[in-house]
Amino acid sequence: MNLRRLKFFVTVAEELHFGRAAERLCMTQPPLSQAILALEEELSVTLFKRTKRNVALTPVGEHLLSHVSKLLQEVEALPGLARQLARGEIGSLKLGFVTTADYNLLPELISHYGVTFPEVKVTLKEMTSDLQVEALMQGDINAGLIIPLHQTLHTSLSYLPLLHEPLVAAVPEEWVRAGRVEIVNGRLKIQDVAEEPLVLFPRRSAPAFHDIITTYFASHGIEPVIGQEAIQMQTIISLVSAGMGFALVPGSLRRLGRMGVRYVGLEGKPPVIETGLVWRKEDPSPTVLRLVEIARGLGEQAGEEDGGTGEGLGEGLGGGAPGVGLPEAALVHARRDLNGHGHAGRLD
């Protein structure tokens, strides 16, 4: 289809006069008339009724005009659209995430990304870290927030550490009131709950998170007593609330308020959990590059606000960006942007 002929058609349709249309197009009338005849022949329809005194659109021409006008507008918009796509300002982004990120990194990151690039369609998918890596390799997602696995990531993937978060103990409030556990200066000795049932998730579901906890117990010479297993964070907290045992969870889970549960810091050096962004090195999507830039910027901003001390919730690991600080107001705002997301899910 010759776009030049379509432009001629629209101009003649607007003027309903070949002479004036030719003047607008800076050409003579004969080649314009020939171009319209060629277009009618190409489409096998008559677009204009021609008499010696006037020119009028046929019913087919009238209906076709709006479609052709829209088509030409879209063609004219193509260069700008291409530039927006190249800058990652429009398009789509499929992001996987572990459940723990839903209480720390995810709301802040998505909030900033959505404000900066409102025309990008973001699809979120809750997945364990190992499934995210698999989905990345298969091209099913563009990026993911993962708890890094012990093994080295595939060489085709890039990883940016973002959050270094201490674990805290979630204990039944009734245990505290009954003196079953002793909290001194707001801290709990892991030895004091060595014989209490631990609510944990099966290793097959969250190997990295599972090993962080069991290694912590082993470093204190303790063999944990597994009381219950669950694959959802909210289920684990519910079991603690019901007095079925205690659990070690990321500090950001304090935001998951649940009656009957008290979150307590661990004495000494607590285990930490690292969360970061992973993506394919060769991903051609500019939307992924923009996401990485925003994630890195949030980390750098948090590091500056921390005064470079690297303390607290937002410490970066592995030579990567400092962690992301997450004000409660930003979390609330971001969760609202996620249209009530924040559901229960698998941990790692």
Helix, strand, or coil (residue 277): strand
Claim to verify: residue 93 and residue 116 sit in the same structural domain: yes
What pLDDT is attached to residue 89?
64
Does residue 285 lie within any of the structural domains? yes
The predicted-structure confidence for 330-342, as pLDDT tens digits, reads as follows 333 333 334 333 3
Claim to verify: residue 101 and residue 200 sit in the same structural domain: no
Confidence class for position 1, pLDDT limits 50, 70, 90: confident
Confidence (pTM): 0.66
What pLDDT is attached to residue 329?
35
User: 136-142 long-range CB contacts below 8 Å, 24 or more apart?
Assistant: 136/96, 136/278, 136/279, 136/280, 137/280, 139/280, 140/94, 141/94, 141/95, 141/96, 142/93, 142/94, 142/95, 142/279, 142/280, 142/283, 142/285, 142/287, 142/288, 142/291
Q: In CATH, what number is assigned to the domain containing residue 232? A: 3.40.190.10
What's the alpha-carbon Rg for the chain, to the nearest Å? 31
Cα–Cα distances in angstroms (integers) from residue 24 to residues 11, 30, 52, 74, in the given order? 8, 14, 21, 21
Among the listed ranges 55-59, 62-66, 211-215, 281-285, which one has the minimum average pLDDT value? 281-285
d(CA 154, CA 156): 5
Claim to verify: residue 169 and residue 297 sit in the same structural domain: no
Backbone dihedral region for residue 171 (phi beyond 0: left; psi -120 to 50: alpha; all else: beta): beta
Does residue 122 lie within any of the structural domains? yes
Does residue 229 lie within any of the structural domains? yes
Question: Given 26, 43, 76, which residue is the final one in a domain?
Answer: 76
What pLDDT is attached to residue 130?
85
d(CA 135, CA 139): 6
Task: State percent of the chain over pLDDT 90.
Answer: 48
Does residue 82 lie within any of the structural domains? no
d(CA 254, CA 250): 8
Question: Given 272, 287, 321, which residue is the final one in a domain?
Answer: 272
pLDDT at 306 over 70: no
Average pLDDT over residues 66-85: 76
Does residue 302 lie within any of the structural domains? yes
The predicted-structure confidence for 219-233, as pLDDT tens digits, reads as follows 999 999 999 998 888
Claim to verify: residue 67 and residue 206 sit in the same structural domain: no
DSSP 153: P
Claim to verify: residue 262 and residue 288 sit in the same structural domain: no
Claim to verify: residue 72 and residue 213 sit in the same structural domain: no
Show the domain range for 22: 3-76
Write out the H or E segment, with its range, that includes residue 263: strand 261-266
Q: In CATH, what number is assigned to the domain containing residue 20? A: 1.10.10.10
What pLDDT is attached to residue 4?
87
Claim to verify: residue 204 and residue 287 sit in the same structural domain: no
Does residue 343 lie within any of the structural domains? no
Task: Indicate the number of domains in the chain.
Answer: 3
| 308 or 57, which is more confident | 57
Does residue 303 lie within any of the structural domains? yes
Claim to verify: residue 69 and residue 158 sit in the same structural domain: no
d(CA 18, CA 55): 8
Among the listed ranges 50-64, 93-107, 293-307, which one has the minimum average pLDDT value? 293-307
Q: Tokens for 250?
A: 């990321």
Question: Given 272, 303, 323, which residue is the final one in a domain?
Answer: 272
The predicted-structure confidence for 153-194, as pLDDT tens digits, reads as follows 888 999 999 999 999 999 999 999 999 998 989 899 999 999
Claim to verify: residue 305 and residue 257 sit in the same structural domain: no
pLDDT at 18 over 70: yes
Claim to verify: residue 118 and residue 157 sit in the same structural domain: yes
Does residue 66 lie within any of the structural domains? yes
Q: Tokens for 224?
A: 């944990």
Claim to verify: residue 174 and residue 160 sit in the same structural domain: no
Claim to verify: residue 221 and residue 244 sit in the same structural domain: yes
DSSP 157: E
